[in-house]
Amino acid sequence: MHLDIRKILSILPHRMPFVMVDRVTELVPNEVIRGYKNVSINEPWFAGHFPGDPIMPGVLVIEALAQIGGILAYASDPFDQQGSLMYFLGIDRTKFRNPVRPGDRLDLQVEVLGHHSNVWKLRGEATVSGTLCAEGQLLASIVERER
């Protein structure tokens, strides 16, 4: 299953400039999702991270994995998006291996490690041209939106 940006925006609550997934290229519910983010010099964080040597902040690479993981969770067990949100609860075993720079295509892969009730445990990897940039385990929960 492939998802374009219109479908991604219909699932994620995020909006520009904080959407970190441009396309989903593969999705197997309850198993794995693959997609990517095109990294552009026009993104606002590059002005200060770092002038003359722009690098995508590691926390945003992890955010990209969390967002694509949220798409996987929704596709696996759809929830009411009007009444619920998926919150990122934590990360474990996270390592940053190589920088991500403007012009890169950040490839994202997340697999389900476990799912119980409204809690998801996921494992993600972010690569550029086959080189590992970041990896880690993510924990997330689907909660009711506050009114």
Task: Supply the CATH number for residue 115's domain.
Answer: 3.10.129.10
CA dihedral 115, 118, 119, 121 (to 10 degrees): 40
pTM: 0.95
Q: What total number of domains does the chain contain?
A: 1
Distance CA 10, CA 74 (A): 11
Tokens 């939106």, residue? Answer: 145
Domain span at residue 134 reads 5-144
Q: Is the dihedral of CA 50, 53, 56, 58 positive or negative?
A: negative
Instruction: List the catalytic residues.
Output: 49
User: Which tens digits make up the pLDDT trace of 23-63?
Assistant: 999 999 999 999 999 999 999 999 999 999 999 999 999 99
Q: At 33, which helix (H) or strand (E)?
A: strand 32-38
pLDDT score at 147: 66
